[in-house]
Structure 1
Amino acid sequence: MSANVAILRKFGLSNERIVKFVLGNPEKVLVKSKLLESKLSYVEEKFKISRDIPTFIHALSAVLYIDDEGMEKKMQCFRSFGWSDSDIALLFRNQPYCFNKSQGNICERLEYFMKELGYTPLYLISCSTFFTFSLKKRVIPRKMMLDILKEKNLACDKPSLITIITYPEPKFIKFLRGFENEIPRLSEIYVDTVKRVS
């Protein structure tokens, strides 16, 4: 650990950021020093993520256990949906942990967001939170509820899907209950839907 802390310090990370990394990722600071050094350079050079920005440590944590071949396969999945390497790098800077998903999971998300919902890479980069929530347990059930509201002319452009998926569960259920005069049992329908995929 002491050798790796020295590497992080030599790389220019402050003591405060090193402490946060060690406390948040105790097992990751015990990797081989050669691997740590290579991943530090990889994050900075491959994805152009400055060591000075807060997400640098998160990006390092996200790729530490992914080999180059594994990363390339995940990037290829994005490319197959029309993403450029600069698009991928920007998403990674915004939401490093999107690469912690499996290749299959990434492709499934892109299929849904881009083919079914028609979102563009630019929109998904700006709403990178989409990559942090469960597709089946969170995104799709809430999209179904939003569609029901739109069919009844109870919701137009707002709230957007990206807004309602960020609601904590109690807040979202409260939101649905506000429409139950027009659509009885709407919140129960949502809860049942989530239970079926859990």
Structure 2
Amino acid sequence: MGFDLESSYFCKAVRTLCYVTESAWESRCVVFRSFGFSDSEILSMFKKLPHIMSYSEKILNEKMEFFLNKMQWTPLRLLSSPVVLDYSLKKRTIPRCSVLQVLVSKNRTSESYMLSTLLVMSEKKFIKHFVTAHKDEVPGVVKAYQGKLTFDEYTFKQKRHKDEIRSSPDILVNQS
């Protein structure tokens, strides 16, 4: 499979392969294929995030649906940052997207942030830079973070990253 035998990913991959049955593995592959992943991309995803194959089909479907359909990421984009699939949609991903949506709508920042970077950012750092820093000027930011505002992925402003033009997709949140 191409793992470095001394890497922690190798250990995680072996553990996953011992835990996941052949039929469960194939059912996860069916989910990936339904979203446009090739077999080589599925293997690449497994190498980067071995325990992805231990997710239930339901959870895998929900996360793939969110990133690939609602957020309009491509399989290649998701493959470049598979760790975003590790986070809870309800507890982390959607609240952070909601915060960004509120800040973008109020023109509160002048930078562009790579969404995957914001999702992997520590909770403390995210709250400090995106919630606390704006709570007085943008009261909705706290409600967004608490999940009290509905995230509307269709009005969420995104722009393509320069790598996407070079056929390595990346989506940025346009903050300007």
TM class by shorter chain equals 0.7 to 0.9
User: Is the 1:146–1:155 Cα contact (8 Å) retained in structure 2?
Assistant: no
Larger radius of gyration: 1
Greater fraction of residues in strand: 2
Following superposition, the deviation at residue 185 of structure 1 comes to: 5.9
Cα 1:114–1:128, aligned 2, differ >3 Å: closer, same or farther?
A: same
Matched, 1:192 2:173: no
> CA offsets, 1:136-170, max 9 Å, x none?
11111111111111111224662222112112222
CA contact (8 A) 1:49 1:56 kept: no
1:164 touches 1:172 (CA, 8 Å); kept in 2?
yes
TM-score (norm 1): 0.68
Aligned residues of 2:41 and 2:79 also touching (Cα < 8 A) = yes
Does residue 183 in structure 1 map to residue 138 in structure 2? yes
Residue in structure 1 matched with residue 117 of structure 2 by the alignment: 163
How far apart, CA to CA, are the structure 2 residues paired with 1:172 and 1:182?
A: 17
Q: Indicate the percent of aligned positions where both proteins have the same amino acid.
A: 31
d(CA) in 1 for partners of 2:111, 2:69: 20
Structure 1 unaligned spans of 5+: 1-47
- Matching residue of 1:31: none
In the alignment, the residues of structure 2 paired with residue 120 and residue 157 of structure 1 have an alpha-carbon distance, to the nearest angstrom, of: 23
Kindly provide the CA deviation profile for residues 75-107 of structure 1, in whole angstroms up to 9, marking residues without a partner as x.
100001111001111111011111221011101
Answer 1 or 2: which has greater helix percent: 1
Q: CA deviation at 1:172?
A: 1.5
Q: CA RMSD in A?
A: 1.9
Name the CA shift for 1:73/1:64 in 2 (closer, same or farther; >3 Å): same
Greater relative contact order, per chain length (Cα 8 Å cut-off, separation 6+): 2
* Cα pair 2:95 2:146 within 8 Å, conserved: no
Aligned length: 146
In the superposition, relative to structure 1, how do residues 108 and 157 fare at CA in structure 2: closer, same or farther (>3 Å)? farther
Residue 105 of structure 1 aligns to a residue in which SS?
helix
**Hey, what does 2:2 align to over in structure 1?**
49
Q: Deviations over 1:160-186 (max 9, x none)?
A: 221121122222111121122420262
2:19 counterpart SS class: coil
TM-score in terms of structure 2 length:
0.76
Change in 2 beyond 3 A, CA 1:50/1:163: closer
Q: CA deviation at 1:51?
A: 4.8
Equivalent residue number for residue 147 of structure 1: 101
Quick one: structure 1 residues 191 and 142, their matched pair in 2 at CA, closer, same or farther if it must change by over 3 Å?
Answer: closer
Map Cα deviations across residues 25-59 of structure 1 (whole Å, 9 max, x no partner): xxxxxxxxxxxxxxxxxxxxxxx233535111111
